[in-house]
Amino acid sequence: MIAFVFPGQGAQFVGMGKELYDNHSEAKMMFEKANEILGFSITTKMFSGTDADLKETHITQPAIFLHSVVACKMLNTTPSACGCHPSNTLEGNIIPNMVAGHSLGEFSALVAAGALSFENGLRLVSQRANAMQKACVQNPSSMAVVIGFDDEKVKEICETIDEVVVPANYNCPGQLAISGSFKGLELASEALKAAGAKRVLMLNVGGAFHSPLMLPAQEELAQAIEKTNFQTPVCPIYQNYTALPETNPDIIKKNLIQQLTAPVLWTKTVQNMVKDGAIHFVEFGPGEVLQGLIKKIEAGVEVRGMR
């Protein structure tokens, strides 16, 4: 079985997507459509902007979504590029057996599975990014990654801190990102290192994603999601909030809303996908982050990327 996976914030780089834009007429049309929907030239930021431009949440999220979705769409113009040779096709298009995305990447996965249109997916991602940016201004905060420590012990230590700090991204065994106030992260970092964590590294992000500090953004995004038409996907999507497969549009919406303040259960997601038959993983979009994480979670599967 083949699984399509999609990266989240942090995978961006200057020049992302330009090769697709230059070499595929359909890709170029999708990029130009995105400029029109967003009301500004995101392609300029992606192709020739600065690292600082691409770190701004309202740019980063639609840029990664756009690159990921276009890369997936272009797979079906050159099917052999995937190298996975799945048996399931529909009108010449390669259909995955399952999909998943890390945080923001869940929106890309929903488009790839047909639950969301490209246009609606991009609009939601833009609204999500803007809402999150406002929440970051309202509650100055950040994230850190904990290396070489047990997940449950990280959670237990966070619960002892008298500030907002919570597990945010269960990325792979021995790597867990935490989110919280600056004071909460400082106190948690000291406690974690004292308890034996190998390293605790502050991340260069604008806020405490996947934490209670994103509640204002969650409330705003919920309204947008409820107004958006979701279809039954062509295959199950393994959602961040539960790490379980889902095809019911109503439940997908609820889980997508919960995702903004709940941790990303990526380790369990990959484990469940493998348990359910996934042996080929293809990451679409910028970077190779998910490929590395998947190899650490399940060493025996085939992983490759397309960008």
What architecture does CATH give domain 2-135+212-306? 3-Layer(aba) Sandwich (3.40)
Per-residue pLDDT tens over the stretch 39-68: 999 999 999 999 988 888 899 999 999 999
All structural domains of the chain with their residue ranges: 2-135+212-306, 140-202
Give this prediction's pTM.
0.93
Inter-residue long-range contacts of 159-167, CB under 8 Å, 24+ positions, other chains counted: 160/191, 161/187, 161/188, 161/191, 162/187, 163/187, 164/208, 164/211, 164/212, 164/213, 165/211, 166/210, 166/211, 166/212, 166/263, 167/263
pLDDT score for 88: 47
Q: Which residues of the chain have pLDDT under 50?
A: 77-92
Catalytic-labelled residue, pool 68, 103, 141, 179: 103
Known catalytic residue: 280?
Answer: no
Catalytic-labelled residue, pool 58, 210, 211, 280: 210
pLDDT score for 87: 45
Known catalytic residue: 103?
Answer: yes
Percent of the chain predicted with pLDDT > 70: 94
- CATH no. of 140-202: 3.30.70.250
Of 87, 118, 98, 121, give the one whose Cα is nearest residue 247. Answer: 98
